[in-house]
Structures are given as structure tokens and as C-alpha cells.
Homo-oligomer: A and B are copies of this chain.
């Protein structure tokens, strides 16, 4: 496997800084301080215009003076001083850089020019750099921290890449208290040279990283993001939080189907397609990421719950069930093993509630071990393990009635307990476990869990939701996504139809052309005939199965129904002739008229293609017909799709009941429907002239989908 270039950037044997001095109240100095004092053992070369020693290190006036080309250069220089120094590093032979400095693209047009110059210098010298306007990186494996906040814990398992610098540094204290430890963290800033997709790719390869969390504010290259993520997610979990812009600003014009979906829905679809689990708060990004990074894989959906109080037990059970778990009643055999360990009337059936018992070892070790070994559950959520933390709280009052030294001894005794075996339970049994506790690392149990990669959540519901994330990942691991997309052969007929329209300078195809184009790709459409004149009617009449619809067919005529240019449910040839005449009378003597056999069926769906400027070509599927807007139930995927991806997409609509034996109708043939979507998804890639395809409705006739109306828009 070739390694990402970021491996080299993240593992430098030597680092130079530009912009760090001896004034510790300056940002630049704080960055250097982290590098020097957090445990990095490589060489460090401060560049400083005046001082000969910076924070105890020999300083150099220019990169050109350095005894070697440092592998990594860190820039905290003001933006107006940056470029010449950056270029000198290029000259000196440095290949990797991190530009913390702000004041580039994010500040407007001047900044954009400056950023372009930075990129050009990097290109000139073959340099790769993170930033500008970022917070730097953390590589916990080598205790390298280039951010302002010092490291507060050792190496961890969670990879983190962020479009907000804050999130790799400001919460380090918060994270340390929860025991959440990064493997590698990257703040990508303006992404002038290295972007979050590069970071994702690198974290996917990195062996220390067992799960990846991404904080995303905007993606540039969705196709590459999908390609990279697809390779990672089957073997390494990826979580993402996406924060869209304001509702007003972020909503893109998705044309016809688009009134109902902003880009947020596209991100939903993209993440689903990529096998990425989406979360909606940074707390979950960290916490659930940590659970995924640390715990054994979940092998089923049966949850065991062990608690010392009923409320949290109920909350965990309830939240687990809402998340797709069962909380199965334990077998009599297992209950017989558990009951002797508990007070007489305490429930042992799952949840196991040992009530207010003081023997925490039973709660935290003996019972979970029995439950894990029973073969009756696939995971365990434990609430209530606490010892010294609880005793310290009691101490205040106890010291008023007992010898204070005795009270302290009790706390010390609790803190001396060896929990080595207890914190091995999930790993020895190969069954994931998460902890719910109102106590934090003040408590001996919680401290041990935290230090030994067992995630602790501060309320019961969160612990249960973390398990839910493990279940989501189980589904992602097990899903079939298909080997890319099945081959769809370019259609000569489609090329001809488009060519004709383009040569006429048209912006869209007419309905007949659109359906012929779809049909040429094997998508079933309603049977129909274009009528040029009355003389053809008799001949066509013989071929028709009634009832039929008669409608005008011209790419420029809108509002057909309102103008009386559509006649439905016509039962015979006479009716067709009447309708034909009325349409010509209204819309013109030579206007083409379409006769379509009506497709019987009460279920209507929609499908579509939308090419978004710089944001991919998307395939849509949803509930269509008269419910399009009212149910607002459409899902999206990046084109092209495999048949398996199309199947998964179909199952993502909210109203899946319409796909089953709705009102005693035959269930929809999902293979046929998936095939329609898969074929549809290929069309815009074969025909870049197509900007948008809007199919609504697809009527389900018996079990089979038939396209009844379609609009195809051309252009870029």
C-alpha cells in the first residue's frame, strides 16, 4: 500500500517554526511551546529575526541558515510577512508545512490573492501544506502537538479531521476528562493545498486510528470524498458532523424536485452512500467516535443492561429499543446464576438491577462477565459502577461522625483496588461495553474505565445511543454496495435525440423525446405515439389499449393542464380525435400531440437527476405524484449508482410502507425499481449535455415501475 503524503507530514523527524518567539502571551509562542514541551523528541529549529535563543532553543535568522532542511515547517508569522519565509523554506528543501496564520481567503479578495501566491510557491518547490488559517495537528503516537493547548493525555485511537480549528484544540481538557484520546488530529483550515479528504484518506490508512470523526462545513470534491470514504468504511468506522450554512443561504435550487431539499439532504445521501454515520453534535462526534474506536465489533442487536437503579435501567432499555436493539429477557439458567449475587427481590431478567448494593464488584464485574459469557447478548450497557467518587462525596458528612483519617483510609482503600480484570471484560469476551455514570474521573472505577478504553457517558441515554452507533456501523459493515456500477451501454438513439435538440438550440427535450431516451436505456415508459396529423389517428387507434391520455407535446409549452392541453381517461378513438382537435385549436395547427396509454396503478414515485455546479451529479428518488410536496420524502445519491446502492436508497425513504403490500396491492418489484435508478444514474455521465432529469410520476403498475411523465433539461 502506498502511503498518503500526509504520513510524512504528520511524522516529521525535525520541525522548524516561523513566528514563534519568547513572548509566551503570543499565539505563535504557545504553538512552539506545545511542540517543545508535550514530548516531541525530534529536532526543533525556531526561525527568529532577532533572538538567538527562543524558548531555550538555538534560533536561526533564515531557513537558509539551517544545518538541515527540516521535514516540517510551522508558520505563525503574520500574513504580510509570510511569503518570503515560506519561499525560503522551499529553497532550503523543506517539503511539508503547516500554515497556522490567518488572513487569507476567509477575509476577502486580497486574502484570496495572497493564498494563491502561497499555493504557487508550494507548487514551485513541490511542497504540501496544511492551512492557512488552521490550528495545526496532533500526532499522539509521537507526542507531537502543534496546537496552542497542551496535550493532556497519551496516545489514543480516534482519528479526527476538522474544518474548525477550535475542535482539535479548545476541547482537549474536556476530552481528557472523558478519556477520549486522539490518534491523530488535523485542523485543515482553508484547505488551500491539503483538504479534509486528504486527511480522511490518511486516517483511513493510519494503523493507530481505529475510528475516524470528521467535522465538515463544506465539501469541495464530493466524488473524491465518496471514493475515499467508500474504501475506508467497510473496515474502519467513520462519523461525520455536517453543519450547513443558514437555512436561507444553504438551500440550493434543486429545480422541480428541489423545492423540498436543500444541500443538507444531499449530505445525508452522500454520507449514507459512503457508509458514514452522521451525528448532529460535536459531543456525539467525539463520544460516539470514541466508542467506535475502542470497542469490539457488535455482532448482533441483543443488549444486556446491568444497573444499580431502576430509572437509568429503564432509560437505557428504552433508548436501546428506540435504536434498534432488543433487550431480551435472560434465560432461567442465566437468572439462576445472577440471583444469588443480588438482594432478594431485585430484578435479574434484563435489565439486571442490583438496586442499592454496596458490592460494586458484583455490579461491575461478576454480573457483566456472566452476562457476556451467556451467549444471550451482543453488548452490555452498565450503569452505576462507582466507589471512591461516591465515598469522597459521602466523606463530608462521614468526617463529622468518624475519625477523618479512617474516612480517608476507606477512600484510599477503594482507590487501591486492582481493576485490571474488570476493565478487560469487553476485550476478553469480545463484546462491546459502554458505561453510564453520574460520576467522573474522580471515581476509581470511572478513572480505570477511561484509562483503559472503555467509554463512559455522563447520562444513561447517551450510553445507549453510543451502542446504537455501534449497531449502525454493524449494518454498514454488512451491507452490500456492489462493485461500482453495472455497465450501461451508451445508446445511439439517445445521442441522436440529444443531438437534434442541441442542434435546434433547445434547452429541453419534449416529453416524447424524454421518454424515448429513457426507454433507450431500458427504463420502462408508458406506451405512446406521437401524432402529426388526423390521418395517422386511425392507424394508431388500432394499436392502442384504452383508456389513453392525449396531450400536447412541445418542449416550450408549459402549464399544459391549466391551458386545457391534457385530456385523461379517453376511452375510444372518437375521444382521441376530439381531444386532438381541441389541442390543435388551442395550441396551434401543427403542434405535436402525444397519445399515451394510461398506466393503471395507485402508487406514484419520483426519480431524477440533478447536476449541481461543483457539487456532483445526484440521483433522486422519492414519493411522487400528488404527494410530492406534501410528504416531502425524497432521498439522494451521488451518480452513478450500483444496483445495490439503488436498493439501499429506495429503502431510505420514510414512507417505505408504500413499497410493500400497501392497501393489499402487490409489493413493488424492488429489483425493477433499483434497475430504473441505476440506469438513470448513468445517463448524465454518458450524456454531459443533460443537466437535469425529472421523472414524476413513476407509476407502479401491478408490481412494476413505469415512467409516465418526464422532463429532461439540457445545458450546463
Contact = CB atoms under 8 A, between A and B. Distances in A.
Interface of A: 24-25, 27, 30, 33-34, 36-38, 55-56, 102-103, 106-108, 111, 148-150, 152, 162-167, 170-174, 177, 215, 217, 243-244, 246-247, 280-283, 309-312, 314-315, 317-319, 321, 327, 344-345, 355-356, 358, 384, 389-390, 393-394, 396-398, 400-402, 438-440, 458-462, 626, 629-632, 655, 657-658, 662-663
Given A37-B397, A282-B460, A309-B164, A318 B631 contact: no
B24 A401 contact: yes
Contact of A459 (B34, B150, B282): B282
Contacts of A108: 345
A365 to B, nearest CB: 20
Contact of A358 (B25, B309, B311, B355): B25
Given A56-B401, A173-B393, A282-B460, A309 B166 contact: yes
Given A398-B24, A630-B658, A174 B356 contact: no
Nearest to A356: B27
B345 A630 contact: no
Contact of A243 (B166, B314, B630): B314
A321 B247 contact: yes
Contact of A401 (B33, B246, B438, B458): B33
A451 to B, nearest CB: 19
B314 A217 contact: yes
A646 to B, nearest CB: 22
Contact of A246 (B150, B152, B244, B327): B327
A111 B461 CA distance: 31
B281 A462 contact: yes
A389 B461 contact: no
Given A150-B396, A345-B103, A55 B356 contact: no
Given A283-B459, A655-B630, A657-B629, A309 B165 contact: yes
Contact of A458 (B37, B283, B439): B283
Nearest to A655: B630
A462 B281 CA distance: 8
B24 A402 contact: yes
A438 B56 contact: no
Contacts of A247: 321
A25 B414 CA distance: 14
A342 to B, nearest CB: 13
Contacts of A106: 345
15 contacts: A24-B398, A27-B356, A33-B397, A33-B398, A150-B396, A163-B311, A164-B311, A166-B311, A217-B311, A246-B318, A247-B321, A280-B461, A281-B460, A630-B657, A630-B658
B393 A152 contact: yes
A283 B462 contact: yes
Contacts of A215: 311
A246 B347 CA distance: 15
Contacts of A393: 149-150, 152, 172-173
A394 B312 contact: no
Contacts of A402: 24
9 smallest CB-CB distances across A and B, nearest first, come from A164-B311, A166-B309, A281-B461, A107-B345, A174-B438, A37-B397, A171-B438, A283-B459, A630-B657
Contact of A282 (B25, B315, B663): B315
Contacts of A657: 629-630, 632
A402 to B, nearest CB: 6
A62 B393 CA distance: 32
Nearest to A164: B311
Contacts of A152: 393
Given A281-B459, A401-B55, A166 B318 contact: no
Most B CB contacts (10 A, CB to CB) among A25, A150, A438, A632 go to: A438
Given A246-B321, A281-B459, A631-B631, 17 more contacts: A25-B358, A33-B397, A33-B398, A34-B397, A56-B401, A102-B355, A103-B345, A162-B311, A163-B311, A165-B310, A243-B318, A281-B462, A282-B459, A282-B460, A283-B459, A629-B657, A630-B658
Nearest to A285: B459
A713 B398 CA distance: 63
Nearest to A458: B174
A314 B216 CA distance: 11
B244 A394 contact: no
Contacts of A166: 309-312
A438 B173 contact: yes
A404 B328 CA distance: 57
Given A281-B461, A283-B461, A459-B281, A150 B311 contact: no
A655 B631 contact: yes
A150 B407 CA distance: 15
A108 B163 CA distance: 57
B394 A30 contact: yes
Contacts of A327: 246
A169 to B, nearest CB: 9
Nearest to A465: B281
